[in-house]
Chain A
């Protein structure tokens, strides 16, 4: 194809009689090309937006927006109550545990496939990797984006609660007290976000079909969560305590009991056993709670104390994280899938 180079432009003062042939043929891009860092950053930003359905139609926003509103509700409600003089009852480190579990299961199961399964289904990976993008950059960007999304879901309610409480505080020490309680909560939230995002993406990357990915993620989290809860309930031991009580003289006594002197009373309580301490490892949520308690968290949670097994929970957390992240990166080592 012959290219006829013409004179383009020229000064306006030039002769008005000259004709100009414009060659709008194939042109090369000669501008600046952005490098690997910018690509990763663009991929990160785009994935973060996908996690909340931004940039897609309205239907893609339904689930993330509803889940975000639901998880913020207790924080907002408590903040409003605090504004009216009530105390802050929602703890920073566990928040409302059950609610957080359900919301995060739905959020991760619905949104992780949006980040990862779509690219697999449309076989777009070879296009990504023929750019200056290393094999490990793609999962890195996706993971960073999804961790950020989960962080937003978990930490923003905590921050809302904190701000609501702190603006009502009247002294510096009260503010400091709140801040001291918030920081561990934020750290726990960070652990949640990192672990849940990793597992979610790793499972989602196994399938190009979003429905199957959603199913796999939801089934894994849901099954292990219910199982852990039931096992915790079932492995406890009944302990019967005999207590001697001394009612004051003249106080009414139930029939069949001697009229004076101390009374022997039996009470049955449920007490965790070794097994109870260990079954928490079954589910990522109870593992996270176990780690929290091991690191000194005091608010009550589904795990009934870790006893000597705290390090085991820490190890389990790291193992789950390593397997998920490793699996995710290994998945993308061969592209074109």
Chain B
């Protein structure tokens, strides 16, 4: 019910194709929309939020198209990227007005609750023009949450936040996602999304490059070697034994340990333990070097 469905959605401006034939389905939980700057993440978010019409394709939120349909905002909350808020209102007035516009039964109470969730209770009676950038982000989140939406769309939500605010926001989003809401956030900062998102959708140059669990995506790309860091009782001997195996494509002896490039992750992991035992070498640590989203990203972009 609270799912977002895109089917062959494209959006172009004259000769420039911003979103190119994207088909994806977003369900409950936290989904990260990833991609380099200019890839089309904001465009996709605006399309889903009903602030842009698809040039082609079908796009529905909870079963209904979002374009020209103000009623979807009863279940959808949007936190736009642009810094613009009504600067002359206080935080509380802004959230309360939004609650009234959502035709809620008790706007002041809803506003108070939403502001508490966004941890803005201390500053709520100050004019928004006096807020820092991170505070503005949080009051925007409060306004987007005031009507208790099932779907929450956030465009670069961590922009301008300091580490403490970022942690708080991540906790909040995790909690909301665990409650069964559909949270979609866009970012080009990989560390944030890595910790937060259960699923990712990677958009590169307007196309959907990958979707799903990022570890699973990683494993799908067997054309690139995996890099592991192995620490053992005798790295050099282990290295010379490993280089003889077909699953291993490169060895480097570094101060931190043995850096192994393996083309076939499965075969390598099966063989490493047996090899170490045969050579009488104690394995101390085996770490994947590049399983962070960073390298997923970089590989996707480069390929």
Quick check: do A and B touch in the complex, using CB within 8 A?
Answer: no
